[in-house]
Structure 1
Amino acid sequence: MLECLEFYKVLSKLAEDDQEDQRAIYKNLAVKCSPAASIHPLGFVLPKDGRFLLVEGCPTNVSQFKGDSQNAEDSREDEDSCEHVEPGPLPEDWTDASFIANEKESFTSLPVQDARRLLSWFCIGHNNHIWDSSSNPPSLPLPPLWVRCDMKDKESICWMGACPMVHSSSIEMQLYTATCKGPLVGTSALPSLDEVILKHKARHRVNKVRTTGYTRYVLFGPPQGNTSLFERCSNINVEFWWSDVNHLFQVPPTDATATLRIRVEPGDVRSPVHAAYKELNFLARVICGLQTGEMDWCLGDETQTAATLVETLINELKSCQNPLQGYAKKESEIVETPAMEAEVVMQSNAIPEREDLDFCEQLWFKMKSAVFSYTSIQDCLNLVLQALANQEIQPWTHRDNSSLLSEMVQQSCTGAMKYVPLVGKAPLEMLAQIGLDKIHRDYLTYFLGQELTTLKHLEYFFGMRSSLGLQEQLCRLTRLEHIFEVVAICRTFLSIPHENLFLLTMQMLQFYHDRPVDPSHVFSLSKPSVDKSLYENEQPAVWHVDVTSEQMSREAVSTIYVSRHPPVEHCTSTMDGTMQPFFNGGDGGTTLIDYEENCLYALTITVSHVKLG
Structure 2
Amino acid sequence: MGSKVISNAKEFYNILRSLQDEGRNDPCTFEEDIQMLKTNGDRIPVLNMYCGNQSVFICEKAVPKMNEPEDQLMTETSNCTDGDEADDDGDYVAADCDASALQTELVPEPLTIMKARQLLSWYTLSQNVNVSAVENNPALHPLWVRCDMSDPAGTAWFGAETVCMGNKVSGVKLHSVTCKGSTVDKKSLITLDELKQEHKRRCHPSSMAIKGSARFLLLGSTVVENTLIKSQSSVTVDFKWSHVESILETPPLSSTATLNIKVACGEMRSPMFEMYRELEFLQTLADGLRTGETEWMEPLESASAVNLTKAFLEELQNTAKTPQDQTAKPAETTKLKSEKDDPIFNSLLERGDLDFVEQLWVRMRKSVISYQDIGDCLKLVTEALRYGDIKPWIHRDSSSSLSKLILQSYHKQIDHVSLTGLTPVHMLLEMGLDKMRKDYINYLIGEELTTLNHLCYYLSTDVDLQEQVIRLRKLHHLLEIILTCSTFLGLPYDRLFLLTQSCLQHYKTYPYDENHEFKLQIKPALISHFYQKEHPVVWGVEVSSGNGAREVRTSLQLSDRPLVDHIIFDTDYTNETVNGGSEDPAFFSTMVCCGLANFA
* TM-score for the superposition, normalised by structure 2: 0.82
Distance 1:504 1:4, change over 3 A: closer
Q: Which one of the candidate residues 154, 157, 169 is aligned to 1:156?
A: 154
Please show how residues 68-217 of structure 1 align to structure 2 within 5 Å: 105=106, 108-130=109-131, 137=135, 139-168=137-166, 169-197=168-196, 200=199, 204-205=203-204, 209-217=208-216
Alignment correspondent of 2:368:
371
Which residue does the alignment assign to 1:534?
A: 530
Shift of 1:367: 0.6
1:563 to 559, 566, 587: 559
- Structure with the largest fraction of helix: 2
- Is 1:58 the equivalent of 2:62? yes
Q: CA separation in 2, counterparts of 1:122 and 1:207?
A: 29
Partner of 1:416: 413
> Shift in Å at residue 122 of structure 1?
1.6
Give the aligned partner of residue 607 of structure 1.
594
Q: Is the 8 A contact 2:29 2:36 kept in 1?
A: no
Measured against aligned partners, the alpha-carbon deviations of 1:186-243 in whole angstroms (never above 9, x if no partner) come to 212123434444555566556754432222221122334999956xx12212222222
Q: 1:355 Cα deviation (Å)?
A: 0.5
Correspondence for 1:501 among 481, 496, 499? 496
Is the CA contact (8 Å cut-off) linking 2:303 and 2:367 kept in structure 1?
yes
Deviation, structure 1 residue 450: 0.9
Equivalent residue for 2:514, pick from 515, 519, 538: 519
Tell me the CA shift for residue 103 of structure 1. 7.8
**Superimposed CA distance per residue, residues 246-296 of structure 1 (whole angstroms, 9 cap, x where no aligned partner):** 333322222222222212223344321122122122212212322332222
CA deviation vs aligned residue, 1:394-436 (integer Å, no higher than 9, x gap): 2111111122212222333443333423111221121111111
Inter-partner Cα distance in structure 2 for 1:106 and 1:495: 41
CA 1:43–1:424 in structure 2 vs 1: closer, same or farther (change >3 Å)?
same
Distance of aligned partners of 1:206 and 1:145 in 2 relative to their CA distance in 1, 3 Å threshold: closer
2:435 to 434, 438, 442: 438
Matches within 5 A, 1:281-296: 281-296=280-295
- Residue 446 of structure 2 corresponds to 449
Aligned to 1:29: 33
Question: Whole-Å Cα distance in 1 between the matches of residues 557 and 314 of structure 2?
Answer: 68
Offset at residue 572 of structure 1 (A): 1.8
SS in 1 for 2:188: coil
1:322-401 equivalent positions in 2, closer than 5 A:
322=325, 324-325=328-329, 327-328=331-332, 334-337=335-338, 341-342=340-341, 344-349=342-347, 351-401=348-398
* Cα distance in structure 2, aligned partners of 1:551 and 1:392: 82
> 1:360 is aligned with what amino acid?
V
Q: Is the contact between residue 58 and residue 106 of structure 1 (CA under 8 Å) also seen in structure 2?
A: no
Which residue number in structure 2 is paired with residue 16 of structure 1?
21
User: 1:299 aligns to what?
Assistant: 298
Please say if residues 172 and 610 of structure 1, whose CA atoms lie closer than 8 Å, have aligned partners that are also in contact. yes
Supply the RMSD in Å over aligned alpha carbons.
Answer: 3.1
* 1:510 matched to 2:505: yes
Higher relative contact order (CA 8 A, sep 6+): 2
- Letter matched to residue 531 of structure 1: I
* SS at 1:34 equivalent: strand
Sort the Cα spacing of 1:44 and 1:228 in 2 relative to 1 into closer, same or farther, 3 A: farther
2:540 partner letter: H
Change (3 A) 1:47 1:208: closer
CA distance in 2, matches of 1:358, 1:289: 26
- Secondary structure, counterpart of 2:533 in structure 1: coil
Question: What letter matches 2:146 in structure 1?
Answer: R
2:38–2:58 CA contact under 8 A, matched in 1: yes
**SS in structure 2 opposite 1:392?**
coil
- Is the 1:565–1:596 Cα contact (8 Å) retained in structure 2? no
Change (3 A) 1:421 1:458: same
The letter of the residue matching 1:163 is E
- Contact 2:317–2:390 (CA under 8 A) maintained in structure 1: yes
Segment of structure 1 superposing worse, 602-611 or 520-529: 520-529
| Residue identity matched to 2:275 | A
Q: Does structure 2 conserve the Cα–Cα contact (< 8 Å) formed by 1:316 and 1:327?
A: no
Look up the match of 2:91. Answer: none
| Deviation of 1:341 (Å) | 4.9
Gaps (5+ residues) in structure 2?
A: 65-102, 576-581
Residue matched to 1:310:
309
Give, in angstroms, the shift of residue 360 of structure 1: 0.2
The 10-residue stretch of structure 1 (602-611 or 554-563) with the greater mean CA deviation from structure 2: 554-563
Go from structure 1 to structure 2 and tell me whether the alpha carbon gap of 1:243 and 1:258 turns closer, same or farther (over 3 Å shift).
same
Which residue number corresponds to residue 84 of structure 1? Answer: none
Cα distance in 2 between the residues matched to 1:546 and 1:426? 64
* Aligned positions, number: 540
